[in-house]
């Protein structure tokens, strides 16, 4: 109307296709005190998580060691693709080498653990705040998670890279998708279990009908992996990024392989174990034990000839005994969901996941002894673990009480599909599908290709919790954009 006045806010909120952008702008203008009140419960959990990590730094100085730690450190000083483990974690250590302090490494790993909790909370922002906060509790407050971060192993870095990739996967901007692909590449070159996750994330974009972005994701993820594969081939004259896949799968099948049923040819029969499956040791013993049929063969265990032979044996075992293989995988997977924490695969490995009472001794195996000498170069001094009381005792007491029980993890995994069944009217792929599928793949793959290990479970936990929180968001926001 003529003469009418249109009232325009002094600071209008910019229009956005995504209502979440409005919320972000609004929160950015909110006073810090108001933000603290709004997210108070999460900040309290985050603060407790930080306190636990400070106690770990004070109680176990500068770090806790694992058999794999020494191999990673050798690669820092002798850059070459390892036959068993990709070099991503060694590169991480190399970046921190100028500090000459393993305490700095564990400090960064603890920060990555806290950052993972923040990523989960941020990615679950459309869920009820209580659900988003609960989703962060396992990664921030589980004692075994804190202990894993204090170990010089690749799992904390791997977990952060995967959770970051999943958290960014809801954004459909090409630059962000490139970042997702690069994070997946980094995760794959940190732990080879990252390879199937590239397929999971690519399938997610296909389900959303974003075929161009699928290509962008695959290019960003595969180019670094292929480049690393080229380096691996130049050094070892073998295709791949590691040279142990056949060996690990062979060890996995030895929990059920029966040569009487398989009837293997003569060249494979040398890998048979005459003992019945129920009397055999855990799968890992077929890789490292001196009396393993594979270890007794000429040359090192991971030569191309031995790895190819092991792969052929494993393939025959699986095809000849598919039901036995499936039952074996379910048995290994079932260890994830037990209430207690039984000793497995053996007391030595199990003990590495506990905050120790006494200072660990020097490494006993020759390869680890070589790595220990390089570790002294890294630290520019003596290495070891100093246990300082009372901080260490407080952590041990905490670890005896606070962890995520297996049945509760199973319940968390069941929340999204149960909610979907109850709602039924949901159309399109739900937001929780990608973290849920990623978490499930991380749990199943070790059980199918290697064996169950407690530290393999922990990177899947924040993804399962994120999926559960996202499944509880209001139904009209569940549809993918």
DSSP letter for each residue of 125-186: TTS-HHHHHHHHHHHHH-HHHHHHHHBSSSHHHHHHHHHHHHHHTT---HHHHHHHHHHHHH
* Same domain membership, residue 473 and residue 406: yes
Collapsed DSSP state (helix, strand, coil) of residue 386: strand
The Cα 396–Cα 317 span in angstroms is: 43
**Residue 70's Cα: distance from chain center in Å?**
20
The answer to whether residue 27 sits within a structural domain is: no
* Same domain membership, residue 164 and residue 81: yes
The answer to whether residue 147 sits within a structural domain is: yes
Q: Report which secondary-structure segment, H or E, holds 217.
A: helix 211-236
User: For position 426, what pLDDT does the model report?
Assistant: 61
386: phi then psi, degrees, rounded to nearest 5? -95, 125
- Estimate the crossing angle of helix 102-123 against helix 40-59, to 10 degrees: 160
Nearest residue to 467 via CA among 111, 143, 163, 18: 163
Q: Is the pTM of this model over 0.75?
A: yes
* Same domain membership, residue 365 and residue 300: no
Stretches in the chain below the pLDDT threshold 70: 1-30, 364, 366, 425-427, 474-481
* Same domain membership, residue 179 and residue 126: no
The answer to whether residue 116 sits within a structural domain is: yes
* Same domain membership, residue 250 and residue 150: no
Of 186, 210, 242, at which residue does a domain stop?
A: 242
User: For position 9, what pLDDT does the model report?
Assistant: 44
* Same domain membership, residue 179 and residue 156: no
Nearest residue to 157 via CA among 88, 212, 210: 88
User: For position 23, what pLDDT does the model report?
Assistant: 52
The Cα 154–Cα 57 span in angstroms is: 18
* Same domain membership, residue 141 and residue 43: yes
Nearest residue to 399 via CA among 357, 345, 443: 357
> Domain span at residue 224?
171-242
* Same domain membership, residue 132 and residue 145: yes
* List of long-range contacts for 75-84, beta carbons under 8 Å, 24+ apart: 76/374, 76/378, 77/374, 77/377, 77/378, 80/235, 81/228, 81/231, 81/232, 81/235, 81/236, 81/241, 81/242, 82/242, 83/236, 83/242, 83/243, 83/244, 83/302, 84/242, 84/243, 84/244, 84/302
* Same domain membership, residue 124 and residue 52: yes
The answer to whether residue 256 sits within a structural domain is: yes
The Cα 147–Cα 424 span in angstroms is: 41
The answer to whether residue 64 sits within a structural domain is: yes
* Same domain membership, residue 347 and residue 319: no
The Cα 368–Cα 376 span in angstroms is: 12
What are 197's two structure tokens?
């996750």
CA distances from 311 to 143, 252, 287, 315 (A): 37, 11, 13, 6
* Same domain membership, residue 187 and residue 153: no
Q: 367 near 78, Cβ under 8 Å?
A: no
The answer to whether residue 2 sits within a structural domain is: no
Q: 255 near 321, Cβ under 8 Å?
A: no
60: phi then psi, degrees, rounded to nearest 5? -130, 95
The answer to whether residue 154 sits within a structural domain is: yes
The answer to whether residue 7 sits within a structural domain is: no
Of 242, 270, 305, at which residue does a domain stop?
A: 242
* Same domain membership, residue 284 and residue 217: no
Domain count, the chain: 3
102: phi then psi, degrees, rounded to nearest 5? -65, -25
CA distances from 382 to 77, 102, 119, 325 (A): 17, 11, 36, 46
Nearest residue to 314 via CA among 265, 267, 268: 268
Of 272, 294, 329, at which residue does a domain stop?
A: 329
């Amino acid at each position: 109307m003529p003469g009418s006045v249109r009232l325009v806010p002094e600071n209008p909120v910019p229009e956005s296709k995504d209502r979440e952008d409005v919320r972000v702008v609004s929160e950015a203008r909110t006073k810090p005190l108001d933000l603290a009140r709004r997210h108070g419960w999460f900040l309290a959990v985050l603060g407790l998580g930080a306190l636990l990590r400070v106690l770990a730094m004070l109680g176990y100085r500068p770090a806790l060691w694992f058999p794999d730690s020494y191999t990673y450190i050798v690669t820092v000083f002798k850059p070459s693709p390892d036959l068993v483990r990709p070099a991503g974690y060694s590169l991480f250590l190399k970046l921190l080498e100028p500090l000459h302090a393993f305490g700095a490494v564990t400090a960064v790993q603890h920060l990555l653990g806290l950052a993972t909790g923040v990523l989960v909370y941020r990615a679950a922002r459309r869920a009820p705040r209580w659900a988003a906060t609960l989703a962060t509790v396992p990664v921030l407050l589980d004692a075994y998670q804190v202990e894993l971060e204090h170990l010089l192993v690749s799992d904390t870095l791997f977990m952060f890279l995967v959770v970051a990739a999943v958290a960014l996967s809801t954004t459909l901007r090409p630059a962000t998708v490139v970042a997702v692909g690069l994070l997946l590449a980094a995760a794959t070159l940190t732990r080879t279990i990252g390879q199937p996750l590239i397929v999971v994330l690519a399938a997610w974009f296909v389900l959303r009908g974003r075929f161009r972005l699928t290509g962008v994701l695959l290019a960003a993820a595969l180019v670094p992996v292929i480049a690393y594969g080229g380096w691996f081939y130049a050094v070892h004259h073998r295709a791949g990024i590691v040279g142990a896949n056949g060996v690990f799968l062979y060890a996995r099948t030895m929990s059920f392989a029966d040569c009487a049923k398989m009837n293997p040819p003569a060249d494979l029969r040398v890998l048979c174990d005459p003992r019945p499956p129920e009397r055999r040791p855990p799968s890992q013993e077929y890789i490292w034990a001196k009396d393993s049929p594979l270890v007794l063969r000429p040359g090192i265990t991971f030569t191309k000839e031995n790895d190819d032979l092991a792969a052929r044996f494993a393939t025959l075992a699986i095809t000849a005994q598919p039901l036995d293989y499936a039952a074996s995988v379910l048995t290994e997977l079932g260890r994830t969901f037990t209430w207690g924490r039984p000793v497995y695969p053996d007391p030595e490995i199990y003990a590495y996941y506990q905050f120790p009472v006494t200072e660990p001794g020097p490494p006993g195996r020759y390869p680890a002894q070589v790595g220990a000498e390089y570790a002294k170069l890294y630290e520019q001094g003596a290495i070891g673990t100093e246990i300082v009381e009372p901080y260490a005792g407080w952590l041990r007491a905490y670890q005896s009480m606070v962890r995520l029980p297996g049945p509760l993890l199973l319940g968390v995994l069941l929340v999204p599909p149960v909610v979907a069944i109850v709602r039924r009217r949901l159309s399109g792929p739900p937001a929780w599908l990608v973290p849920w599928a990623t978490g499930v793949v991380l749990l199943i793959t070790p059980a199918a290709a290697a064996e169950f290990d407690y530290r393999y479970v922990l990177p899947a936990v924040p993804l399962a919790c994120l999926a559960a929180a996202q499944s509880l968001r209001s139904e009209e926001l569940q549809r993918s954009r």
